[in-house]
Structure 1
Amino acid sequence: MFRFLRRRDAEATGTAEAPEADVYAQAAERFWQRWDDLLPEIASALGDSVPHRIESLVAAALAEVHPNLTFAIEHGEKAVYALVVSGQADPELRPHTDAWMAAAPPADTLWEYHDSVPPVPDPTEVTVNLRGEKYPLADVRVVAQVDEAEGLVDVAVYHPGFSGLEENARRALTFLPLDATLGERLAADRLGRVETAELEPEGAIGLLELRELVRELDRTAAAPPES
């Protein structure tokens, strides 16, 4: 049995038009000016292992871009630190995060910047803690149906731990593996219908196979048409 959770709004592209785009760009520029001013204090807090000391300062600066954006300071993939800003897959926030990223300084050895939550290197090595129990994402199985015309993949997600979870926790364990596998941006762009599967479906694949399938669809969809 499948339980429907979400259908992505394929029409919601989040594209900004002038003069709104200019307003977003100006707000992003103000953030980066403020970020540059805060960097010595941020470096001091991180060096002292007390990041909470500067969280309110960064949050206040980011609120000038949009009050509904969230952020995290994490270990970077190539740099020491990563500043990750997220619109939580809300298409209305996409123009703001696009402007923020466009105005970002070049990454260096100390800082890199992401306008959405990136995928983890190997989601099958991740274990999610929910309600005091551990759920290895290596146990997740997914049925994926590709809609090439729409450029979307409909998925049904199964985990053997679903049976012991209430609705909200089951929903979390449905979406967390997808975001960990694809990253927030690719999941928002390329996933269509998302369902939970209460029994393991036939023809299911693992998360790494799902990643390659969705990335290949994204490459195909983004490619210019042949002349």
Structure 2
Amino acid sequence: MGIFRRPRETSAAVPASISEFWEWWAQARQEIESSLNGPDAGEPQPGEGLPAALVEELSARVHKIHPELQWEIGGGEDEPPVLTVTGAGDPELRGLAERWVRAAPRATVAGNWRFHPARQADPEMLEHKLVLGDHEFDLDYVKLGMRADAGLARVHIAAYHPDFLFVSDEQRLQVAAHVLDWSMGEDDVARWIGDVTIATEAPMDALPPSMLPAVVEQIAEPFAEPTWLTGESRTPRGHPARLGARFPLHRQDYPLCDLHVAITLPYAHSNPDRLPVEPSAGALRKFEKKLAGLGDRAVLAVRETGDGLRVLHLYADPDSGVVAELDQLAAGWSEGKAKVSSTSDPAWRAMAPFKPS
């Protein structure tokens, strides 16, 4: 049973590079709009519609926030322009992209632009051709083998295109990633899509990408309300331990919760196996009910119980003031000295041992 004792980190303040980006945007927006729409826009870059100088400047501003962030500009003739800055499915970057979008200026500065921290579903793109390097993929020929895994609440994908026989593995994976993002949106891909493999022959019962949302809806419907998975293990001293994990729990639903917090509560009343009995069991339940009132500022992910201790693992928004509230709650625990420790964990790596497999 892991007891986390790590240095306290109470703030993940918005990086100065995000504020600098929006200050620059306020100055550059009109030039960007003119470059996208004006008759003297110059030679646009493929996919962005901007001249090279603006592409380089925008890239530099985004990469100053984090070098692995990606950006793209979208929108059509009848739609407002869209700027997306994304970590491309990397959970470690999801919170940073969220902070970027939440720092966006008001409409008086942003104009009619829309901003997104993750790629949005865009089924119309599936009707076009995708150019990667020197190869053009007709997306009408994409087929997806879909295998629903109810136990993991995931849909596993085998992506097929006849041209996969003639291109590199990197291009194959890029096609699959684009198709999934356009079908579902980046966040829902992260929530519900499991393993993605490449097929060089059409899978049996393969379907067009347009059917993927309906398949995902079926697998997601039973999990509209999270439940708790339970299990048993042993403490380092060899005593029984009980585990509980919230399921499903998606990083994308708590994008600002980058801080892993472990609250250790000793309990005074236990059975011979050193597991809690009344009145301690009731006191532990009451403590957890108080955590439910924290809203989306913190989420209880896992509980470990054994050897006279319960460890509650939460993920919290470090800039919301919730850590101070957790300290106060722990200070009010009456069955021993409670401990609160925290560490930055934007990728939620501490949850890996508790994921169902």
TM-score bin, normalised by smaller chain: 0.7 to 0.9
1:1-227 to 2 correspondence within 5 Å? 18-20=10-12, 22-24=13-15, 27-46=17-36, 47=38, 48-50=40-42, 51-52=50-51, 53-75=53-75, 79-105=79-105, 110-130=112-132, 132-215=134-217, 217=219, 221=223, 223-225=224-226
Does structure 2 conserve the Cα–Cα contact (< 8 Å) formed by 1:123 and 1:138?
no
Note the residue ranges of structure 2 that are not aligned, 5 or more in a row. 1-8, 43-49, 228-357
Contact 2:160 / 2:200 at 8 angstroms: preserved in 1?
A: yes
Query: How far apart, in 2, do the equivalents of 1:77 and 1:220 lie?
Result: 39
Asked if 1 retains the 8 angstrom alpha-carbon contact of 2:144 and 2:158, the reply is yes
Unaligned runs of 5+ residues in structure 1 are 1-16
TM-score (norm 1): 0.74
Structure 1 SS opposite 2:130: strand
Distance 1:218 1:33 in 2: 40
Q: Which amino acid aligns with 2:23?
A: Q
What is the alpha-carbon distance in structure 1 between the residues aligned to residue 57 and residue 217 of structure 2? 36
**CA shift at 1:193, angstroms?**
0.6
**Cα distance, 1:57–1:201 mapped onto 2, change above 3 Å:** closer
Report the TM-score when normalising by structure 2.
0.50
State whether residues 35 and 61 of structure 1, in contact with CA within 8 Å, keep that contact through their aligned partners in structure 2: no
Could you tell me how far 1:81 is from its partner in structure 2? 1.4
The answer to which structure, 1 or 2, has the higher relative contact order (CA under 8 A, 6+ apart) is: 1
Deviations 1:43-75 (A, max 9, x none): 443334242242333333323422321222232
Aligned-pair identity in percent equals 29
In structure 1, give the amino acid aligned to 2:179. Answer: P
Letter in 1 for 2:41: S
Query: Equivalent residue of 1:89, what SS?
Result: coil
Shift, 1:132, TM fit = 4.3
Contact 1:116/1:185 (<8 A) preserved: yes
Structure with greater helix percent = 1
Tell me the alpha carbon deviations over residues 106-164 of structure 1, each in whole angstroms, 9 at most, x when there is no partner: 56773111212223233441222356444322222212122334332111112222223
Displacement of 1:194: 0.7
CA contact (8 A) 1:79 1:111 kept: no
Distance across 2 between alignment mates of 1:35 and 1:87: 20
Distance (Å, rounded) in 2 between the aligned partners of 1:143 and 1:167: 18
Larger Rg: 2
Question: How many residues align structurally?
Answer: 207
Cα distance in 1, alignment partners of residues 184 and 117 from structure 2: 14
Change (3 A) 1:204 1:90: same
